[in-house]
């Protein structure tokens, strides 16, 4: 294709058919003819293998990706296709070597795409930031390690490699006009039927918008998608006609597409999570909840914009949402409006040119948000084990654990003993995932979603043929952070426990723990660990709520951890406890409690927002996701 195109250029020039493109140049503050002052230094990509407070060249980013894959046992690479200019498109799988979670479930998969629009430099930097965080924190016994051990994550750092290199080849130069620049630094599309020179004008508007080249809504929106090859939103000759989109489909196969449960396409700008709704209300509701989690990671700095089901523009998030019935997003990174937010002049399209001084912070913020979304979709929370130790923590009295066997779990009694009244114990509860948010290694609120404590515990059952319950004071317990956790920081809650004189083990025909809590993403416990949850057709299967409904996607209060089991239905409606609820049990005299507030305070935000149809009007006609 390149040889033929060059010959055409020579012929065109020979016959006087070729006009020279008018060029413009971005500057800091310098003004003059053909100059576009930004009001801050024009970012120039740097060759650096390590993250910098600025942008890196494509070659530096690519070498960094290779370096991480060569030095990590949990990062592998695969070529998924080639560009128009025969450059290799790479995808990276971040996962351990087995296909099962630590709790015995089959691992789910997630796909994150970067660099689909060439001029949006924030995207490859952000997505590379996700990889670098997981690489640097692979053994953190917290979120990074949890994701690597329980999720099959595939990342495409740069999809539109040809276009991205073209923008970096001309970091200050653009063509067409000062208000609607198109080639050079402001190329959006791929390089189909386009040379790499800015001098030749006839091809500067060529190329395909890869975010208009997708089923099921390819060429269905004449306002935001076009068959005109010169259009900024030219949709190509057919759905997935472009090699880059075909490569993205290969990335989905690499992720084991039948296991997909999360997708993000990373763009800039307007600081919002867009998601297309489908005809599946469960999928739409969960997509809204996960968007809330990602937004909460940065204290709701980002907006949320769901669109109505049944229409679209040919975007990749529409393809993945409708094809796989999963939460799928177009993440538009900052700024919200323009470079004026960073002290710039606010000229046309400067929202695509994030100042270099903002890049490191942007990487950190988008990393925390995206990892939080992945955390929410990796697994729902499950109470996996309960242990009762003596006050010294040296002698195990009781131990129950849910053990995976084939496609289900069985509650195993690992230590059988009896509890006595007026005796000090330690209750250890272990979950399948980190349950609380940490900042600098310290328990912290996850804004508007969860507080550091957020757990209520009862010991309940049937004694002398009557319902009884004993309320344990959760404020005297703590989520383990520095030691005595099971596998991940905050996956274990430890509570001192002393049963009153009225308690009599022998009088009980049924005795179980009643645990009311949630993970830091606000998801409540799976109430029946025996049936392993999985993502199926846009919702969680076998994620039982308090009534036993396996398709509510809600979870509830867990009552399945039984010390004494009478074989009764745990979801059966029972009369109010009699005698009346005992006041909270006093802590043992030689223990100190952890801080926090009791009880769950979070209600997940469901369907919110309306489609922001004025985006292109507010931020320039070219700003379309």
Question: Residue holding tokens 């272990």?
Answer: 430
CB-based contacts of 36, cutoff 8 Å, min separation 6: 24, 25, 26, 27, 174, 178, 181, 347
**3-state secondary structure at position 254:** helix
**3-state secondary structure at position 197:** coil
Q: How far apart are CA 142 and CA 487, in angstroms?
A: 8
CB 518 within 8 Å of CB 454: yes
User: String of b and e for 454-489 (b: at least 16 CB within 10 Å)?
Assistant: bbbbbbbbbbeeeebbbbbbbbbbbbbbeeebbbbb
C-alpha Rg value of the chain to the nearest Å: 28
Give yes or no: 475 in active site.
Answer: no
Question: Which one, of 482, 424, 457, lies nearest residue 561 by Cα?
Answer: 457
CB-based contacts of 592, cutoff 8 Å, min separation 6: none
**3-state secondary structure at position 475:** helix
Give, in order, the Cα–Cα distances in Å from 141 to each of 148, 417, 486, 527: 11, 31, 10, 26
CB-based contacts of 14, cutoff 8 Å, min separation 6: none
Q: How far is CA 562 from the centre of its chain?
A: 35
- Among 25, 332, 358, 544, the active-site one is 332
Q: How far apart are CA 501 and CA 83, in angstroms?
A: 75
Give, in order, the Cα–Cα distances in Å from 140 to each of 27, 40, 135, 459, 484: 43, 38, 10, 33, 15
CB 436 within 8 Å of CB 450: yes
DSSP type of residue 586:
P
Q: How far apart are CA 181 and CA 145, in angstroms?
A: 43
CB 607 within 8 Å of CB 306: yes
**3-state secondary structure at position 13:** helix
What are the backbone angles phi and psi of residue 113, rounded to the nearest 5°?
-110, 145
Q: How far apart are CA 113 and CA 325, in angstroms?
A: 17
Positions marked catalytic: 332
């Amino acid at each position: 294709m390149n040889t033929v195109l060059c010959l055409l250029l020579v012929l065109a020039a020979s016959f006087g058919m070729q006009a020279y493109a008018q060029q413009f140049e971005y500057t800091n503050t310098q003004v003059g003819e053909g100059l576009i002052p930004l009001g801050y230094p024009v970012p120039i990509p740097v060759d650096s293998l390590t993250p910098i407070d600025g942008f890196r060249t494509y070659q530096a980013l690519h070498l960094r990706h290779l370096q991480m894959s060569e030095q990590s046992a949990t990062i592998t690479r695969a070529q998924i296709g080639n560009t128009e200019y025969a450059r290799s498109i790479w995808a990276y799988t971040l996962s351990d070597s087995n296909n099962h979670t630590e709790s015995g479930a089959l691992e789910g998969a997630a796909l994150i795409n970067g660099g689909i629009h060439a001029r949006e430099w924030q995207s490859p930097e952000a997505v590379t930031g996700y990889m670098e965080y997981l690489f640097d924190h692979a053994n953190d016994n917290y979120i990074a390690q949890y994701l690597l051990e329980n999720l099959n994550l595939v990342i495409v750092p740069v999809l539109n490699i040809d276009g991205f290199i073209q923008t970096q080849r001309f970091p200050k130069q653009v063509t067409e006009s000062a208000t609607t620049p198109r080639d050079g630094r402001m190329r959006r599309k791929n390089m189909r039927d386009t040379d790499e020179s800015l001098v030749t004008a006839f091809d500067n508007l060529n190329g395909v918008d890869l975010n208009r080249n997708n089923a099921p809504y390819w060429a269905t929106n004449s306002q935001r998608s076009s068959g005109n090859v010169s259009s900024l939103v030219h949709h190509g000759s057919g759905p997935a006609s472009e090699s880059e989109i075909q490569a993205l489909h290969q990335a989905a196969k690499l992720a084991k597409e039948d296991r997909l449960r999360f997708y993000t396409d990373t763009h800039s700008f307007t600081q919002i999570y867009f998601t297309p709704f489908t005809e599946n209300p469960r999928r739409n509701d969960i997509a809204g909840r996960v968007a809330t989690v990602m937004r909460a990671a940065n204290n709701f700095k980002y907006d949320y914009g769901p669109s109505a089901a049944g229409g679209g523009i040919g975007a990749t998030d529409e393809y993945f949402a409708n094809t796989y019935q999963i939460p799928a997003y177009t993440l538009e990174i900052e700024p919200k409006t323009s470079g004026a937010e960073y002290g710039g002049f606010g000229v046309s399209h400067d929202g695509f040119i994030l100042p270099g001084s903002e890049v490191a912070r942007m990487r950190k913020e988008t990393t925390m948000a995206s990892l939080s979304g992945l955390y929410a979709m990796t697994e729902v929370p499950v109470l996996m084990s309960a242990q009762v130790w003596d006050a010294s923590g040296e002698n195990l009295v009781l131990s129950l654990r849910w053990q995976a066997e084939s496609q289900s779990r069985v509650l195993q009694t690992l230590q059988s003993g009896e509890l006595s009244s007026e005796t000090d114990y330690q209750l250890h509860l272990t979950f399948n995932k980190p349950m609380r948010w940490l900042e600098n290694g310290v328990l912290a609120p996850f804004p508007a979603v969860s507080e550091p404590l957020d757990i209520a515990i009862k010991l309940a059952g049937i004694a002398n043929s009557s319902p009884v319950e004993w309320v344990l004071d959760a404020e005297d317990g703590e989520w383990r952070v520095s030691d005595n956790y099971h596998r991940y920081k905050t996956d274990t809650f430890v509570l001192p426990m002393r049963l009153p004189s009225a308690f009599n083990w022998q009088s009980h025909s049924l005795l179980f723990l009643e645990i009311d809590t949630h993970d830091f993403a606000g998801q409540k416990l799976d109430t029946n660990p025996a049936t392993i949850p999985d993502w199926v057709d846009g919702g969680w299967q076998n994620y039982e709520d308090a009534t036993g409904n396996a398709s509510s996607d809600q979870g509830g209060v867990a009552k399945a951890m039984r010390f004494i089991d009478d074989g009764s239905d745990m979801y059966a409606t029972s009369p109010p406890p009699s005698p009346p609820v005992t006041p909270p049990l006093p802590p043992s005299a030689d223990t100190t409690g952890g801080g926090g507030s009791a009880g769950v305070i979070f209600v997940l935000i469901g369907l919110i927002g309306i489609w922001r149809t004025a985006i292109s009007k507010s931020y320039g006609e070219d700003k379309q996701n």
